[in-house]
Amino acid sequence: MLSVSLDQARYGCNLVAHGVFQEPSLYTVKALFILDNDGNRLLSKYYDPELYPSMKEQNNFEKNVFNKTHKADNEIAFLEGMTVVYKSSIDLFFYVVGSPQENELMLMSVLNCLFDSLTQILRKNVERRYLLENMEGVFLVVDEIIDGGVILESDPQQVLQKVNYKLVSEQAYGFVLFDYITGSLEGEAERGQLL
């Protein structure tokens, strides 16, 4: 129920913080993105409208981050004035970006939650092609973990429960995708009636 007011609260949040300490705020995550092993964007979300507002800036940032991180799995880096925590799996790279003042462990908890939730949804096959096959599940998971930069959930079990991504539809969806790729949509329609 609280999310409405959180968005309302944003109007007051852009005030310049005075003094050493930032104005305490729920807006923790600046950006989140998933790249493949060529550095191409599969999913990305920018939560702070002032951080890289244009697609070009976002792509440059992602390229830069990817170049600096894909060789060694170092978990954390400081790039372009932002704290970046990351994790890779086979041919996927997951990134969570926060301000340099942000508690690095909070960002890690978001990254871990994202990774663990996807691991479960993808049945441990955290790989590019399985991720792409289940893209709507991925979108929903991200939506449950962060909204507008606020951490909504950090427990993967809770995320899965809320997303309620059903095994049945998931399997069937695999067929849909297959049908889409091979172009046999009629076949799919028949199967849809059977189910």
Footprint (CB under 8 A) of other proteins, residues 12-31: 12-13, 19-26
The label of the residue with tokens 């978990």 reads: 75
Mark 37-66 with x for binding to other proteins (rule: CB under 8 A) and - for no binding. Answer: ----x-xx----------x--xx-------
The verdict on 6 binding other proteins (CB under 8 A) reads yes
Q: Which amino acid is at 40?
A: N
Q: Is 9 in the site for other proteins (CB under 8 A)?
A: yes
Map the footprint of other proteins across residues 62-121, applying CB under 8 A: 68, 72, 74-82, 85, 91, 99-100, 103-109
Closest alpha carbon to 143 in 8, 43, 1, 23: 43
Q: How far is the CB of 126 from other proteins (least distance, A)?
A: 11
Q: Does 157 contact other proteins by CB under 8 A?
A: no
Given phi > 0 = left and psi -120 to 50 = alpha, else beta, which region is 148? left
- Binding of residue 3 to other proteins (CB under 8 A): yes
- The answer to whether residues 173 and 195 touch, using CB atoms and an 8 Å cutoff, is no
Among 39, 48, 119, 172, binds other proteins (CB under 8 A): 172
**How many Cβ atoms are within 10 Å of 121's Cβ, its own excluded?**
24
Which residues, at least 6 apart from 169, have a Cβ–Cβ distance to it below 8 Å? none
